[in-house]
Amino acid sequence: MANSDSRVSEEWDENGGGAGKGTLENHTCTEIIIVRHGETDWNALRKAQGQLDVDLNEAGRQQAAALAGRLSKEHDISAIYSSDLKRALDTAEMIGIRCGGLEVIKDLDLRERHVGDLQGLQFQDFAKHPKAYEAFCSTDLEVPGGGESRVQLDKRCISSLQRIAKKH
């Protein structure tokens, strides 16, 4: 997350349009930079990880190190949040080290989508599990085996990002 800064914006009414008052108001904005973890062996094999804890592979560690170097030069990072899953946490910790030794804050709500019975399967095999595949493709059906719908995923992640933004 980059440091907050002040922005000048037009005052908006409750419908999202200009209020027409001609006044300007200072607002503090929080810039959130979202990154994906580096590659895992399961990514390379096109297997659904979901919320299973799969480590970064060598290519993933190199990707994370390269991203950490880039972010340390281009952004003033003030906080780092990550899922608790090792692939995400290892990526975030590399960024934290390169960005002044920032501690990574774990947030379980930043985990990937739980895809239930599809976790651990290759994507090409999803169709062999028609009920789970149908739920996976829909927006509002929970995937059998403890999986979540896309609506549930969206609510979980948006709630987490809103909490993070309020803190900064």
42 is annotated as contributing to ligand binding: yes
DSSP for the chain, written as a single string? -BPPEEEEEE-B-TTSSB-SS--EEEEEE----------BHHHHTTB--TTS---B-HHHHHHHHHHHHHHHHH--B--EEE-SSHHHHHHHHHHHHHTTSPPEEE-GGGSPPP-GGGTTSBGGGGGGSHHHHHHHHSSSPPPTTT---HHHHHHHHHHHHHHHHHH-
112 is catalytic: yes
60 is annotated as contributing to ligand binding: no
Which is the catalytic residue, given 112, 114, 129, 148? 112
39 is annotated as contributing to ligand binding: yes
75 is annotated as contributing to ligand binding: no
103 is catalytic: no
30 is annotated as contributing to ligand binding: no
43 is annotated as contributing to ligand binding: yes
Which is the catalytic residue, given 31, 37, 75, 134? 37
40 is annotated as contributing to ligand binding: yes
150 is annotated as contributing to ligand binding: no
Binding residues for substrate are 36-43, 87
Binding residues are 36-43, 87
Q: Which residues are catalytic?
A: 37, 112
